[in-house]
Structure formats: structure tokens, C-alpha cells
């Protein structure tokens, strides 16, 4: 296990109420960082706010909420160094082919999965500049690298947008020493994949992955820790596939 020293650093993590975002926020906190955890869900039972942790419950589509929460973290902790955009939704059944999708659903998915990234970056960057630089990591999906006979077109289009915006902002902010990178998770056992509700379903999915297991939130959080850390200080505008080799099959 690699250990990082994030003491005296401050991170904003979205989607921190469950799945990958929760694990990443906990890893950062354990490594010494102060953390602003944002999620629309209630604070999980095993999270307690302390002098290095704020939990802000609210909707990332609300720009005013995002900027108020980020400003409050800056006021309490004195700086913002990192932004992890982990939150996302995948609406099985409602998010379908672009030929059929309800455009209200399309807009909602885009607002949550893509436009929220505009809100969080706008809120964090002025504070990162004052702090002398920073790093961001944004969560996309391997799904946006391929076609699918059972499509979720709003999800994949939004997640492709995440990649494009990360590269664009990486270029715009390089002079400010602010880095921006993307993780493409593969199939990962989190609340988002509640449909794998039996050992058998998880095993079937695992057998399809070249490394013969589904990903864990720790796998994704470990990749994010690296990209945020100074060990990745020369990496910006990059994408990292973390999928147990699944994309090798496509």
C-alpha cells in the first residue's frame, strides 16, 4: 500500500456520500488532508465531521450551493488544493438510445454528470490560484470509449464531455500550476451497480474482466490519490483507464 502525505492540503470531493467518492475522501483524510465532502445524500453513518472534515449535503446542479460550500471550506481550512469530481448518475431504464430518450432525462443527466463539473471547477479554481496551484481528477467511464447495443447515450455523451473539458481546462490552467486528469473506471462494485445483487452476478461480471475480478472503490480511489499527489506533478491533460484490462477486449 502506497502512503501519501497530504497534510496541510485541502481537497473537495463530490459524490462523497457513497461508492468511490466516499472511499477517496476517507483516504485523503487518513493521509492528512482536510476534506470537503459533497453529496446529495445524507452524511453516511461512519463519517464524522471534525476540524479536517466538512460534509455538505446538497445538489451539484445548484451552482450557488456548490460555490457556497467551496467558499466555506476555503474559509475554514485556508486553502483549496484538490478537486475530485466523482459524483455521477447512471439511470438504467431511463437513459437509453438518443433515438428514444426523453429529453428531460437527457438534460438532467447532462446537468448532473457534466454541467456540475463547470460549477465545481468555477468554485474551486480561484481558491486554487490563491493557494499557489492544485490538481483535479474527474471521473468518466470506459463506456464512452465504445459503442453499446444496450445504450445509455446521455451517460456516455456526458462522460465524453468530462474528458474533453478536463483536457481543455488542463491547458488553460497549466500556467497556474493547476493540473487536470481523468480516470475511466471499469465495472466497479458500488451502490451504482446495485443490479449485481447476487454473488453469481458479480462472478459472471468478474469472469468477463481479464484480471478476473470487478473493480473496487479502493482501486479507483488509489488511482485518484496518485493523480492528485505530487508523484503525478508532471501529469496533466491525461486519461487513466482503471478497468482490470476490460478495454483490451474492445
Residue 12 falls in which region: left (phi positive, over 0), alpha (psi -120 to 50) or beta: beta
In the bound state with ligand NAD, the residue whose beta carbon lies nearer, of 70 and 188, is 188
43 forms part of the interface with ligand NAD (CB under 6 A): no
41 forms part of the interface with ligand NAD (CB under 6 A): yes
Q: How far is the CB of 90 from ligand NAD (least distance, A)?
A: 6
- Residue 234 annotated in active site: no
Catalytic residue among 4, 55, 82, 155: 155
Residue pair 154/109 in contact (Cβ under 8 Å)? The answer is yes
Question: Among all chains, which residue has been given the C-alpha cell 481479464?
Answer: 210
Report angle CA 53, 237, 27 to the nearest 5 degrees: 25
Q: Distance between terminal CA atoms of the chain?
A: 30
Residue from the set 20, 28, 165, 240 that interacts with ligand NAD by CB under 6 A: 20
Binding mask 155-174 for ligand NAD (x = CB under 6 A): --------------------
d(CA 84, CA 96): 27
Residue pair 124/77 in contact (Cβ under 8 Å)? The answer is no
In the bound state with ligand NAD, the residue whose beta carbon lies nearer, of 32 and 58, is 58
Q: Which residues are annotated as catalytic?
A: 155
Judged by the rule CB under 6 A, the positions of this chain that interact with ligand NAD are: 15, 17-21, 39-41, 59-61, 86-90, 112, 139, 141, 185, 187-188, 190-193
Amino acid at each position: 500500500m502506497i502512503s501519501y502525505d497530504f497534510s496541510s492540503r485541502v481537497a473537495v470531493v463530490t459524490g462523497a456520500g457513497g461508492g468511490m467518492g466516499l472511499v477517496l475522501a476517507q483516504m485523503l483524510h487518513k493521509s492528512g488532508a482536510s476534506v470537503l465532502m459533497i453529496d446529495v445524500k445524507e452524511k453516511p453513518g461512519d463519517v464524522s465531521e471534525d476540524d479536517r472534515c466538512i460534509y455538505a449535503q446538497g445538489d451539484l446542479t445548484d451552482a450557488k450551493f456548490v460555490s457556497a460550500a467551496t467558499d466555506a471550506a476555503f474559509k475554514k481550512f485556508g486553502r483549496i488544493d484538490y478537486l475530485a469530481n466523482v459524483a455521477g448518475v447512471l439511470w438504467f431504464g431511463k437513459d437509453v438510445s438518443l433515438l428514444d430518450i426523453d429529453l428531460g432525462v437527457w438534460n438532467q443527466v447532462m446537468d448532473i454528470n457534466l454541467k456540475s463539473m463547470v460549477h465545481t471547477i468555477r468554485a474551486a479554481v480561484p481558491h486554487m490560484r490563491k493557494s499557489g496551484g492544485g490538481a483535479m481528477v474527474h471521473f468518466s467511464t470506459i463506456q464512452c470509449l465504445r459503442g453499446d447495443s444496450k445504450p445509455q447515450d446521455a451517460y456516455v455523451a456526458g462522460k465524453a464531455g468530462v474528458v474533453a473539458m478536463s483536457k481543455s481546462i488542463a491547458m488553460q490552467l497549466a500556467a497556474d500550476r493547476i493540473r487536470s486528469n481523468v480516470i475511466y473506471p471499469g465495472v466497479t462494485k458500488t451502490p451504482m451497480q446495485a443490479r449485481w445483487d447476487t454473488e453469481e452476478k458479480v462472478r459472471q461480471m468478474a469472469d468477463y474482466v481479464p484480471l478476473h475480478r470487478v473493480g473496487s472503490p479502493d482501486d479507483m480511489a488509489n488511482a485518484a490519490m496518485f493523480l492528485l499527489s505530487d508523484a503525478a506533478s508532471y501529469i496533466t491533460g491525461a486519461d487513466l483507464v482503471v478497468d482490470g484490462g476490460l478495454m483490451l477486449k474492445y
